[in-house]
Amino acid sequence: MRSTMLLGILFTGLLSARLAAQTPVSIACPTGLTAGGPAGMATVVLSGPAGSEVSATFDSSNTAVATVPGSMGLLVGATTFTFAVTPLTAGNADVGVTVNGVRRDCSLTVAAAAGPSAAVGGPTLSTTGMVLMAGLLVMAGWLMIRRL
């Protein structure tokens, strides 16, 4: 009876330790996201190696700004994992991950897409170029006067 009880306590302790090792400690949101740009990767750190059949669920507080996958299974033994955050429009959102009932969140900002650059409108003349052009015009005028 005593050995059965001891075995039960030992099993309960191992099970608790295994579950505790499969919870998220932190989540880091990607930075530098631009509306309509490429996805960034969020990184989750676990308190220990993931066991078998452990999955993570994800959500975004503002799906108009950024989307995340619904869920994914974790590799056995993984202590960190990443998932994609897709920026849609400029704004702010909180991204969350839940593993074994423990949730962690991070906040991200998606910047507005940059407008067209000046080069798209055609070439521009720099100050140096204008000085050179003025110098050439003066020299051409001097040569014309000299010919007269």
How many domains does the chain divide into? Answer: 1
- pLDDT > 90: percent of the chain: 57
**Rounded Cα gap, residues 115 and 57, in angstroms:** 35
141 occurs within a structural domain: no
Q: What is the CATH number of the domain that holds 28?
A: 2.60.40.1080
**Rounded Cα gap, residues 145 and 135, in angstroms:** 15
Residues in the chain: 148
pLDDT at 8 over 50: no
pLDDT at 142 over 50: yes
100 occurs within a structural domain: yes
Q: In what order do the strands lie in the sheet with 66-67?
A: 24-28, 40-46, 80-87, 66-67
User: What pLDDT is recorded for position 22?
Assistant: 78
14 occurs within a structural domain: no
Containing domain of residue 41, as a range? 20-114
73 occurs within a structural domain: yes
70 occurs within a structural domain: yes
Main-chain dihedrals φ then ψ at residue 45, nearest 5 degrees: -110, 130
pTM for the full model?
Answer: 0.65
CA distances from 75 to 43, 68, 146 (A): 15, 19, 86
26 touches 40 (CB < 8 A): no
User: What pLDDT is recorded for position 9?
Assistant: 44
Q: What is the pLDDT of residues 39-58, one digit of tens each?
A: 999 999 999 999 988 999 99
Q: Average pLDDT in the 91-97 region?
A: 98
Confidence of residue 31 (pLDDT cuts 50, 70, 90): very high
